[in-house]
Chains A and B, each alone.
Chain A
Amino acid sequence: MIKSCQQHGFPGRGTTILPCIQKSGNRILIFILFFFFMLPVNIVIAADESGGDNENHYSPGLKRGERLFYGLIEGKFQGNACGDCHNTMEIDTFNWNPNAWEIAHKYKDRSVEEFQKAVLNPTGRTMSVTHTSFNLNEAEVELIKKYLDHFEEQGLTKQKPIINKILLFLLLGALLTWIVLEVLFLKKVRRKWILGVLFIGALGWQIQLLLDAGIALGRQENYEPDQPIKFSHWVHVTDNHIDCNYCHHTVEHSKSAGIPETELCMNCHIIVREGTYSGRHEINKLVNAYENGDPIEWIRIHNLQDHVFFSHAQHVAVGKIECRTCHGPIENMHRVKQVTDLSMGWCINCHRDTEVQFFENDFYDKYEALHRAVKAGEIERVTAEQVGGTECSKCHY
């Protein structure tokens, strides 16, 4: 970094600047501020250039590869170009196609011939349809590979952070400060009631923001991360009619529903090697993981706090609760999303309303008083709450 600064004629930071501050006044200070403001930009450019020079990557071929990838060269793609299906930026929406980085990563250490074969003569069903319109020769595919090798180091482009609640909160804070200053010192606004309204409004909004944030702390409703493998419950449950219990086979006798072991996936995928939407790429990941003995690191979506005890067996096998009651229409999800906030209020509400298998399950024979009450017609049904389902130590211990 320092080296590149010196190349551009900037003085080293510690040596000359500090004495300057002592000698002269505001102008120097402004210069310094300006200098620091500019500094990161200079460094970034310098770093890019030097990196390019050293590794000999930033060549015209690479540039052409990039343009080919994005379909910027006329006549090469009739339909979608590579970049149209294989995103190079992080996206919120679900994309069945592997993103550019995944492809780049997969082919990084493989030969150009393999890549050429995969692009131009695909064997997979989806790819053989979409890739037919390509008008690329082998040299061009090689250039694309070159670009992808470069891209692999860079990674997906991060999305710029959107203006979030902190900024709003800080702005409101600034507004409040201004109102206080105005009232105490500046005294320019004549109609004081405007300030009053503004003050109450801004403060109220801030409090609302804090409350919302506080309540949502640790909750993640609508959480829908990308998984390492694009596993679709829709395809497996709705299209192929696989019972939930087949994969989540501990759900009826353990607290944990159980994420299926890779071996279980292979029961079917030893034969099924191509997906309806995903082609071969995703299933290949599974097969590779199984063959290499790497466990699959799924992203956990439904997270209860450590101090909550939850048992699937209790709810599914004993309480006869449907999966979708808590997990939503999971059979229609390509990518799993948390549909409930899993808050204690949500739990308790359900425990108040839900009937237990009071007459079917002999366990509840012990509750003699409740049985008497039902017989006498005092109550119609027995909810979880009535057998103690809303008490602390049923879930917290």
Chain B
Amino acid sequence: MEKYWRSLDEYKNGPDQRTEKVAEEEQKNLVLDLASDKVAGAKASRRDFLKLVGFSFATAAITSSCEKPVQKAIPYLIKPEEVTPGKASYYATSFFDGNEYCSVVAKVRDGRPIKIEANELSPVSGGGTSARVQASVLELYDQARLRAPGKGRNKSSWEEIDTLVKEQLRASSSGRKVLLSSTIISPTTKKIIRELQDKYPDLEWIVYDEVSVEFIRMAHEKIFGKAVIPGYHFDKADYVVSFDADFLGTWLAPVEFASGYAKKRDVSKDHPEMSKHIQFESGYSVTGSNADERFPVSPARSKAILVKLYNAVALRTGAAGLSGTACDFDVNAVAEGLLENQGSSIVISGTNDPDIQMMVAGINVMLGNYGSTLDLFRTLNIKQGNDRDFLELKKSLKEKDVSLLIMSNVNPVFSDPQGAEIGEAIGSNGLSVYIGSSYSETAKQCQYVAPDHHYLESWGDAEPVRGTFSLQQPTINPLYDTRSFQDSLLRWTGSDQTYYEEIRKYWKSALYPLSGSTGRFEDWWNEQLQKGVFMVNGNPVSYKDPNLSMIGPGNIPKEEGMSLTLYTSVGILDGRHANNPWLQELPDPVTKACWDNYLAISVADAGELELADEDVVEVNGLRVPVLIQPGQAKGTCSLALGYGRTVAGKVGDNVGVNAYGLVTAEGGFRRYTVQGITIGKTGKTYELARTQTHHSMEDRPIVRETTLDAYRRDPNSGNQFHLDAESHHDSLYPETEFDGYHWGLAIDLNKCVGCNNCVVSCIAENNIATVGKEEVKKHRIMHWLRIDRYYSEDVNNPKTYLQPVMCQHCDNAPCENVCPVAATMHSNEGLNQVAYARCIGTKYCINNCPYRVRRFNWFKYVNNDEFNFHLNEETSKLVLNPDVTVRSRGVVEKCSFCVQRIQEKKLEAKLEERSLEDGEIQPACVQSCPTGALVFGDLNNKESQVAELKENERNYHLLEQLHTLPSVGYLTKVRNAEGGDDEYHDHHTIDHS
């Protein structure tokens, strides 16, 4: 068994001192800041007590004789057919924000969308979503949304904008006329843009991505003759080698990739096989934490290793090698693994570098992966940005040669390294119109602002992967005076059609004939709307034979000084969702920090540079706090993009620093690794909010792991302690029997990739409050479901273990028997229930819970301007789930297994007079998990999936030696490695006394 540690202090000083320090810190934080320090410090006298008593008596007397406010019940005038008050409707639609695609089902209650669920029918996103997709519903009600067409900040009208734009389009001026948009995957929108260009031939269309991956397309253009991003089938990959690609967290289509990846990590006794995952990376990504072997290497070394790997593969496959470079890394094992899995391996890189992407493609060609794990037929349509075109546009803007600039859903003023210059230049050119749903740095610089719908208000279609279509349908009437981008284009074309009509037309003429359907188009269309997705086989695409001759190692930088990797974080990604409080408060899966970006540096470098956590340093002119990250490659540091927005809204403004300025560009091609940076001390410190140390489980076998090798020999390996603990479960009391249902949850730690989707899904479902950075620092984060992270072994390259933890619903719950008012007790279905109205906030239960899953409402988070996020706004509160109580100050709350969903499904079954089926009830975390790591069900039903998993040899419970008898079970993590954990018992002897 590995030795685990949770923070650097603990690693250096041992657990005891760390605990002391934390305890001391907590002591400091325990001073109530409910009132000012003066009041908190003052002693309450007997007189104050009497005053209070008198006051409360008088208040009670007065309130009781006052009349209650009159409440109104206002029915519909004409009830829409599909709306039943008090009952949710579900609509399949598509999420695409210009960056990430996901097919979703929107839950609409009484006319307002309140939750995003995964669309299980989608062949692309499977039954999963990402944290960003889950949080997108809140953005519908965002205060920062644009509400009406505007001229600068003043009101304008659609007529005014339409007239001006049409005038400019028609005018025969010398300047360029440009439509700058984010990647568009909607076939109908592409058609509309083409029609606009047909009408106005001098209109150029330029696609811009905030974070570019253009070299993947360019590499394929050089090798296969077509600039495409291939489809990646991780579900077919037995051997995965990733160079700096965070494909489970942020890279390209993480939901699809995680779903496929997890299919190859499903280990069972009958099927003891799994993929092998090798990760080379400089920073510590969530993907790296899942790797079987992770190598922290600098970007320069990474490239050298890739060259060596290329040559090793080329040597064995008979292809031409590249000029060798000196690299002491032994790639033979990796090359061997790849060669053994020819056609079922995959090599990827997340670095936007032409040589690297060419070599990666080359290796995949040599291994014969194209056609199996890499798909040139079902190619990805996302990330179509063109850096060269954008560079030309920048030049023209500086030369004041643009007479019309229409920008849709892009924010180059924020995300381009020369953003400020672009911003200034926009004003000195011709007419500029910004189309988007909320105000931004770029919108601020434009003359006119044309507000776009939120995706939940708009019609649309998408083709995220070639041949896979999906529909987007409105789930609510537009809240404000907005108009979809496409409708604006149609007005400018002079068409009298709406976007909706255009979509129908396109689907009728282009897709309906391919469906083979013989029925009426109307029926087919309704079916597609209901399912949300549609796949066609389509015609094969011809590529030229792969040409590897142009591949070269290029320039490999010397490893001098520090190198900086600019990455996108799981929550904030490229910054477009920065005003979303759910995402800002989402801790990074590995660093566990939220509400900021920071410079992650290695332990060794921190020692050499004499830096400590939270020291502020200056990196190429940018001031940023330091976070010492174990496993960060020596000589490298990482900084997240997307932070430091200045015109995002009240939540996202001035959170973190904008690192886009550090992006380098050669010939317009943006590179996200910077060599030879300087780190200067400033002597200042800046506090970071981290959720890392406040859920300590102190040196006990919490996460259990084994190796595939050991698992094959003994399915119990790594989990011997479970049997030991089970044998000690003796009690004086009779075992509780649950008649009817006994709910349980199984979490496969081998399938969970730690993507944070469940955390946000839980927030959305259960009305969980956002508390803000200051409160997070005081360990008062309210998340019911957290993902714990543990490190093991070597501080320079620790293994990382991620573990979702929510209320364990113990059948012998320590929290229940300490509640003085019986506000928390066990239900006859095995749920640990909390009656908020009964809770008086003694917090005994929190203190007695060994899992630290209970949360205390230190404040009233709703209607409180001190917590200026979303719960103090009338519109933002519309996102609340009406079936879940909004907790008030002074009560304890925690995971309820989504009891509202259990009750809902039970009622459905009762109405239909039938038993519940296995898998019918899905709590929010389970429903949208992209990897299927969580399984919920009835433990009483021996045939249910969860009951079977409970009998699995890998199943164990958290702190099971405490005899809490949790209803949540974890399945041991299995790493695809040699060796085993035979000496487990020597390391851990648990005292049962």
Contacts and interface: CB of A to CB of B under 8 A. Distances in A.
The answer to whether A and B assemble together is yes
Interface of A: 164-166, 169, 209-210, 212-214, 216-218, 220, 225, 250, 252-256, 258-264, 289-290, 293-300, 303, 305-307, 309, 311, 313-314, 317-318, 360-363, 365-370, 387-388, 391-394, 396-397
Nearest to A344: B837
A297 B886 CA distance: 26
A300 B71 contact: yes
B277 to A, nearest CB: 40
Contact of B737 (A293, A300, A369, A393): A369
B838 A392 contact: yes
Contacts of A314: 907, 910
B77 interface: yes
A164 B825 CA distance: 41
Contact of B74 (A225, A255, A297): A297
A166 B828 contact: no
8 contacts: A209-B61, A258-B75, A261-B76, A262-B75, A300-B70, A303-B71, A368-B739, A388-B829
A293 B741 CA distance: 48
A292 to B, nearest CB: 10
Contact of B87 (A250, A259, A264, A303): A250
Nearest to B823: A392
Nearest to A216: B64
A396 B837 contact: yes
B915 A366 contact: yes
A397 B75 contact: no
B139 to A, nearest CB: 26
A338 to B, nearest CB: 12
B75 A259 contact: yes
Contact of A295 (B74, B916, B940): B74
B835 interface: yes
Using C-beta atoms within 8 Å of the partner chain, give the interface range for chain B. Answer: 35 or more
Contacts of B86: 250, 254-256, 258, 311
B663 to A, nearest CB: 47
Contacts of B828: 387-388, 391
Interface in B862-906: 883-886, 896, 899-900, 903, 906
A217 B64 contact: yes
A169 B61 contact: yes
Nearest to B909: A363
A383 to B, nearest CB: 13
Given A165-B65, A299-B71, A392-B827, A397 B900 contact: yes
Given A262-B78, A300-B71, A388 B907 contact: no
Contacts of B909: 363
Nearest to A319: B910
A317 B915 CA distance: 16
B268 interface: no
Contacts of B940: 366
Contacts of A370: 739
Main secondary structure of the interface of B (DSSP, over half): loop
A254, A262, A360, A397: residue with the most chain B Cβ atoms closer than 10 Å = A397
Interface string B728-768: 00000000010111000000000000000000000000000
Given A255-B86, A318-B907, A366-B915, A392 B739 contact: no
A200 to B, nearest CB: 18
Contacts of B903: 309, 394, 397
A297 B61 contact: no
A340 B521 CA distance: 55
Interface in B821-843: 823, 825, 827-829, 831, 833-838
B914 to A, nearest CB: 5
Interface string B58-89: 00111111001011111111110000111100
A391 B833 contact: yes
Given A166-B61, A217-B63, A298-B75, A393 B740 contact: no
Contact of B61 (A165, A309, A313, A318): A165
Contacts of A397: 833, 883-885, 896, 899-900, 903
A303, A309, A314: residue with the most chain B Cβ atoms closer than 10 Å = A309
B983 interface: no
A218 B68 contact: yes
A295 B835 contact: no
A255 B87 contact: yes
B64 A225 contact: no
A305 B737 CA distance: 33
A365 B916 CA distance: 10
A162 to B, nearest CB: 11
A367 to B, nearest CB: 5
B65 A166 contact: yes
A396 B838 CA distance: 10
B73 A363 contact: no
B425 to A, nearest CB: 50
A255 B74 CA distance: 16
Contacts of B62: 166
Interface in B155-194: none
A297 B911 contact: no
Nearest to B822: A392
B946 to A, nearest CB: 15
B57 interface: yes
A256 B71 CA distance: 16
Contacts of A220: 68
Contacts of B838: 392
A164 B75 contact: no
Contact of B73 (A264, A298, A361): A298
A259 B896 contact: no
Contact of B70 (A166, A293, A299): A299
Contacts of A256: 85-86
